[in-house]
């Protein structure tokens, strides 16, 4: 029997002679080292026992297994767990103990069989699943490849094309799809799962069903020439879609090795490649992001007080523009009834139409049925006054960035909303104390800053003032979780954490251009680094109106480190306001495709003349590395200030904010994690050098200077006066 420890496997032998081995490691039955050792011990015992004819493997609490324990990655990377090397697990446990056993084994899969969990199941001689079970190999999301034989068994069970899709896209499939593709042998109800698996195992023993060792199956594999074509196409796609990533190409190479040299050679190449990738920066970065994302909802002084989120039955939204309609869409998609308020019938209808269009997009893509579409849209009600706000539990204000307008709205909300109602603002830059200064409800005023488009972008920045009650934060965290957002809780200041941290992103670009760098080279270098778009393409996308409105906030609050460029106002004077007007830093065709605009030179010249800036010949021939550093090091510098002031309490929260709010490449681990890979001394010295030439915009902050002097990482957040 397994040990009495929490993480273990148990074995029970029934009167039918079938041993049921159950994986137990809540919540997802992850395959920690002690679980794997227990599994091996129990399996070997079942093989030795004369009263055991066959074996069924399942997981406790309706889940098969979520895969290898990711928390062990750190120890593996540091070489502390030599006995857990994938070669040992893949060959000795999965292949030699399980697959090569002389007694048939059947996997009974419910809930999830992901990563190592599915790899264990694929080594069984048959698989029975429920229709709702999810089966997949998502290892590439962590910068590694499947390490328990998945690269060899999956192609042999489902064919090369399907296997590549599942692995390279980390795309799980459900039970019915798994059945039609050959990954499982039958789909049954959860109640019949174990019983069917037991009988199936006995049928294999009695030769009534085939005894299949998936590692040696060949009927689903294409002929060698055809297989090479498929693999080469996959390589071309991987290079195109993820040019900075090595591990998808390694995965394809390992699969190819098994096809050319046989599955055993493939297994050993897989183990070797896994070890190499495990120690690479990409894996360390993605594992950091994995845990950082899960840690954002743990907020000291808020989530550890034992508070229970209150039930939010109905939400009201003020403003049906792009943001308001996106937030409304996110809420109704998760079954929250929503009241949408606008100032007149025309604006209200436009807001409702935007929500409808968002849902229709899902309908067209097959993500929603017509029935679900109608039901979801029925949760939205449009109004022109505050009367129906008397019965809501939360309001989210999403109007334009105008201080006096927001102040008036919050004064009105206080009059009409019930005393328990959470009063949230979607402002991206304006100080919440300013917004709520005409009210007596500062304890329930909170920032609920969504990112555009709000029904798509995964981040929710929850902003707390000194007066916001912890209960209100807990309530908004709960709503954020229910509408599938990743929340970060931050303190109150101009721009909060995300926009404040990334404001220098565009500013640095403007400074470089006015001093001689090329707009399009900058965007190209930043895009190549891994950002979805460079600073100038981004400004075109959000619109010059937004850029100027936020710029004014920063000039007023941080004048000593704001680069004041006339370039955007000059463009706006000529009715160029970004992508919406088909002209900004780029020109756009009917399909919104961006092209460089030769006319930009005259605007840059004019801006230089007004600013009195002289061209620096060095900036005209910047390397890609210099461009990346001159754009991002000021962002790192501002992130350090955000940490120093206690606006964010964890550096990891800023990493998630950068990845999920601004599109910073996750395989670089987030803004602070990436900065620490370069070192505080190096970043400080570069900023110091540039500040001597270009002034205060690049001046290193005291937090960065102090870390550099000690050679300490920026992520080491020590005792600072927290704004949380």
Token pair for residue 5? 């420890």
- Asked if 491 contacts 645 with a C-beta cutoff of 8 angstroms, the reply is yes
Residues 6+ positions from 21 with CB-CB distance below 8 Å = 9, 10, 11, 39, 42, 43, 46, 55, 56, 57, 58
Q: At what angle do helices 370-377 and 322-333 cross, to 10 degrees?
A: 120
Q: How many CA atoms lie within 13 A of 95 on its CB side?
A: 22
Closest CA to 683 of 646, 644, 639: 639
Query: How does 608-637 read in b/e, with b if 16+ C-beta sit within 10 Å?
Result: beebebeeeeebeebeeebbbbbbbbbbbb
Residues 6+ positions from 83 with CB-CB distance below 8 Å = 33
Supply the DSSP string of 320-367, one letter for each residue: -SHHHHHHHHHHHHTT--EEEE-SSHHHHHHHHHHHHHHHHHHHHTTS
Query: How does 111-127 read in b/e, with b if 16+ C-beta sit within 10 Å?
Result: bbbbbbbbbbbbbbbbb
414 included as an active-site residue? no
Catalytic residue among 119, 257, 461, 638: 119
718 included as an active-site residue? no
Rounded CA-CA distance 708/265 in Å is 48
Q: Which runs of E-coded beta strand occur in 148-291? A: 173-174, 186-187
CA 353 to chain centre: 29
The SS3 of residue 596 is: strand
Number of Cβ atoms within 10 Å of the Cβ of 724: 18
Closest CA to 102 of 38, 15, 43, 21: 43
Rounded CA-CA distance 70/67 in Å is 8
Q: How many CA atoms lie within 13 A of 72 on its CB side?
A: 18
Rounded CA-CA distance 315/427 in Å is 17
Catalytic residue among 12, 44, 139, 629: 139
Token pair for residue 295? 């840690």
Order of strands across the sheet with 173-174? 112-114, 134-136, 173-174
Q: At what angle do helices 498-514 and 624-644 cross, to 10 degrees?
A: 140
Rounded to a whole number of angstroms, the distance between the first and last alpha carbons of the chain is 49
Rounded CA-CA distance 309/296 in Å is 17
Token pair for residue 349? 């209808």
Rounded CA-CA distance 541/663 in Å is 14
Order of strands across the sheet with 486-491? 380-383, 338-341, 315-318, 394-397, 422-425, 445-450, 459-464, 486-491
- Asked if 653 contacts 453 with a C-beta cutoff of 8 angstroms, the reply is no
Token pair for residue 164? 């590549």
Q: What are the CA-CA distances from residue 595 to residues 520, 568, 650 (Å)?
A: 9, 18, 40
- Catalytic residue positions? 119, 139
């Amino acid at each position: 029997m397994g040990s009495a420890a929490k993480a273990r496997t148990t074995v029970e032998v029934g009167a039918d002679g079938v041993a049921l081995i159950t994986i137990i490691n809540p919540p997802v039955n992850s395959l920690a080292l002690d679980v794997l050792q227990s599994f091996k011990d129990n399996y070997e015992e079942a093989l030795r026992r004369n009263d055991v004819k066959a074996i069924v493997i399942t997981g406790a609490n309706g889940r098969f297994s979520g895969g290898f324990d990711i928390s062990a990655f750190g120890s593996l990377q540091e070489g502390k767990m030599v006995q857990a090397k994938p070669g040992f697990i893949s060959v000795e446990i999965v292949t030699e103990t399980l697959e090569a056993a002389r007694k048939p084994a059947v996997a009974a899969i419910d809930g999830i069989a992901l990563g190592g969990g599915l790899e264990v199941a694929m080594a069984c001689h048959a698989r029975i699943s429920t229709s709702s079970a999810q089966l997949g190999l998502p290892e590439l999301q962590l910068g590694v490849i499947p390490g328990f034989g998945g690269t060899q068994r999956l192609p042999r069970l489902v064919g090369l094309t399907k296997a590549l899709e599942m692995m390279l896209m980390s795309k799980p499939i459900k039970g019915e799809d798994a059945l039609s593709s050959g990954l499982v042998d039958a789909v049954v109800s959860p109640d019949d799962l174990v019983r069917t698996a037991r009988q199936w195992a006995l049928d294999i023993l009695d030769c009534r069903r085939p005894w299949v060792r998936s590692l040696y199956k060949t009927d689903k594999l294409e002929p060698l020439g055809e297989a090479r074509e498929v693999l080469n196409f996959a390589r071309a796609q991987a290079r195109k879609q993820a040019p900075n990533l090595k591990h998808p190409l390694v995965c394809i190479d390992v699969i190819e090795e098994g096809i050319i040299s046989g599955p055993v050679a493939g297994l050993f190449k897989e183990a070797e490649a896994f070890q190499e990738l495990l120690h690479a920066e990409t894996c360390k970065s993605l594992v950091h992001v994995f845990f950082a994302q899960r840690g954002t909802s743990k907020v000291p002084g808020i989530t550890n007080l034992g508070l229970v989120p209150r039930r939010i039955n109905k939400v009201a939204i003020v403003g049906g523009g792009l943001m308001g309609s996106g937030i409304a869409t996110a809420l109704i998609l998760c079954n929250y009834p929503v009241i949408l308020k606008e100032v007149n019938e025309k604006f209200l209808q436009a807001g409702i139409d935007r929500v409808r269009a968002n849902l229709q997009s899902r309908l067209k893509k097959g993500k929603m049925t017509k029935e679900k579409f109608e039901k979801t849209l029925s949760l939205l009600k449009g109004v022109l006054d505050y009367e129906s706000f008397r019965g809501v539990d939360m309001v989210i204000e999403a109007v334009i960035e105008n201080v006096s307008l927001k102040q008036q709205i919050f004064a009105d909300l206080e009059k009409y909303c019930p005393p328990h109602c959470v009063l949230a603002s979607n402002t991206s830059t304006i100080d919440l104390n300013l917004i709520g200064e005409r009210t007596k409800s500062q304890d329930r005023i909170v920032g609920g800053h969504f990112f555009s488009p709000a029904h798509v972008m995964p981040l929710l920045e929850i902003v707390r003032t000194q007066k916001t009650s912890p209960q209100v934060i807990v309530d908004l965290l709960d709503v954020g979780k229910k509408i599938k957002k990743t929340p970060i809780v931050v303190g109150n200041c101009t721009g909060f954490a995300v926009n404040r941290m990334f404001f220098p992103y565009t500013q640095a670009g403007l400074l470089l251009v006015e001093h001689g760098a090329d707009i399009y080279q900058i965007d190209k270098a930043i895009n190549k680094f891994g950002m979805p778009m460079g600073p100038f393409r981004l400004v075109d996308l959000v619109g010059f109106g937004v850029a100027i409105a936020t710029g004014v906030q920063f000039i007023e609050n941080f004048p000593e480190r704001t680069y004041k460029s006339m370039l955007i106002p000059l463009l706006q004077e000529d009715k160029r306001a970004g992508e919406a007007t088909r002209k900004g830093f780029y020109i756009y065709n009917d399909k919104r495709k961006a092209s460089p605009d030769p006319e930009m030179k005259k605007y840059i010249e004019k801006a230089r003349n007004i600013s009195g800036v002289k061209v620096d010949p060095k900036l005209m021939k910047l390397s890609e590395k210099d461009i990346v550093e001159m754009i991002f090091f000021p962002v790192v510098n501002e992130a350090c200030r955000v940490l120093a002031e206690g606006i964010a309490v964890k550096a990891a929260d800023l990493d998630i904010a950068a990845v999920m709010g601004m599109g910073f490449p996750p395989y670089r681990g987030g803004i602070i994690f990436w900065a620490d890979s370069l070192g505080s001394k190096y970043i400080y010295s570069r900023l110091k050098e540039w500040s001597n030439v270009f002034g205060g915009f690049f001046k290193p902050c005291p937090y960065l200077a102090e870390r550099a002097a000690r050679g300490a990482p920026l992520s080491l957040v020590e005792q600072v006066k927290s704004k949380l």
